[in-house]
Amino acid sequence: MTTTLNSPDLESAPESGFELRRRRRWPWIAGGAVVALATAAAIVVPQLNDSRSPNEIPGATLVVATAEGNAAEQALVQFVADEVAPKYGITVDFRGLSDSNTINRAVSEGEIAATVYQHELWLGQVLQANPDFRETAATPVFRWGFGVWSEKHGSIDEIPEGGTVSLYSDPANEAQGLWVLERAGLITLRDGIDKASATQDDVVENPKNLKFVLLDFAAQSRALPDIDAAVGYTEYYLAAGIPLEQQIFAPPAPDEFAGQLTVGTDYLETDNIKALIAAFQDPAVQEFLATDERVKGILLPLDAD
């Protein structure tokens, strides 16, 4: 049985109809300095009017964005900006933006260089819903902490007959949740199914007759006291003050669910974006993910066990 509950503060990917635009400040001329300022303006104005993306301009700052308030992803981008990017001759900066459509539109149009907040399946959903977006998952960077959480039970085996388990309400992360439940031995998915896009219709064995409840990112952690278990991202539970000890099962995520550096397709061959991709592929990034307390348990190295 599947129930979909909507939360008024949905955090996953609210729709947005606005676009990011850079505000330009135009030079002004006053008093008797008309000639001098006009000469300066002849130099400055063409730069201010440059219609190219920063991705195409040597020396421009390359902004990498994630959702606002994501401290772990901000720490990762800031590490790359401070410690890695200078080796590749680029300047990187972080920006938190409000929602999925805002971030992806800005990446597609070259207003920002990249994002690291999504896996390939989520990106696929975004592109399907917005066919004018042109984005490419350029390289995997990390794996998110993702597993089964329970306030009532200390192990997978304790989840009872007829228990209620929450999955996320978006298709990509629902599929990831089903994959985790199969790894935990609670369900079996149909042979040959692409488990990265599985749905509950693909569940062929459910020996405990579990009931599935679909909840959004914020609602799931709040509902944990009222259900037997939930399958979700570590970062949302830790942000809600739920201790890591309540994560009762967490297998390494498959490649399809790795966090990707996503860039605008039209800028893949620019020198700036090539250097940005190389920076995120630097071995120092994986070392940071393995050792830094700011991302511990939330962003995992690609080779995490």
CATH number at residue 268: 3.40.190.10
Q: Do residue 140 and residue 150 come from a single domain?
A: no
User: What pLDDT is attached to residue 214?
Assistant: 96
Residue 33 in any domain: the answer is no
Rounded-to-integer distance, Cα 62 and Cα 135, Å: 16
User: What pLDDT is attached to residue 257?
Assistant: 85
Q: What are the tokens at 102?
A: 């805002």
Q: What are the tokens at 107?
A: 């990446």
Angle at the Cα of 247 from the Cα atoms of 68 and 234, rounded to 5 degrees: 15
H/E run at residue 37: helix 34-48
Of the three residues 237, 252, 267, the one that is the final residue of a domain is: 252
Q: Do residue 182 and residue 264 come from a single domain?
A: no
User: What pLDDT is attached to residue 196?
Assistant: 77
Say whether 229 sits in a helix, a strand or coil.
strand
Rounded-to-integer distance, Cα 13 and Cα 178, Å: 20
User: Residues in the chain with pLDDT < 70?
Assistant: 1-50, 305
User: What pLDDT is attached to residue 21?
Assistant: 42
User: Contact at 8 Å (CB) between 175 and 195?
Assistant: yes
User: What pLDDT is attached to residue 249?
Assistant: 96
Residue 127 in any domain: the answer is yes
The residue range of the domain holding 127 is: 61-144+256-300
Residue 42 in any domain: the answer is no
Q: Do residue 248 and residue 121 come from a single domain?
A: no
Of the three residues 232, 252, 272, the one that is the final residue of a domain is: 252
User: Contact at 8 Å (CB) between 135 and 124?
Assistant: no
Burial class (CB in 10 A: 0-12, 13-18, 19+), 179: buried
Q: Do residue 113 and residue 234 come from a single domain?
A: no
User: What pLDDT is attached to residue 48?
Assistant: 44
N residues, the chain: 305
User: What pLDDT is attached to residue 49?
Assistant: 52
Residue 233 in any domain: the answer is yes
Which of 152, 206, 162 has its CA nearest to residue 181? 206
Q: Do residue 169 and residue 213 come from a single domain?
A: yes
Q: Domain count of the chain? A: 2
User: What pLDDT is attached to residue 13?
Assistant: 39
Q: Do residue 288 and residue 152 come from a single domain?
A: no
Mutual angle of helices 283-291 and 71-79, in 10-degree steps: 140
Of the three residues 234, 252, 270, the one that is the final residue of a domain is: 252
User: What pLDDT is attached to residue 68?
Assistant: 87
- Largest pairwise CA distance in the chain: 86
User: What pLDDT is attached to residue 42?
Assistant: 37
Residue 96 in any domain: the answer is yes
Q: Do residue 134 and residue 213 come from a single domain?
A: no
pTM of the predicted model, to two decimals? 0.74
Q: Do residue 131 and residue 163 come from a single domain?
A: no
Alpha-carbon Rg for the chain in angstroms: 22
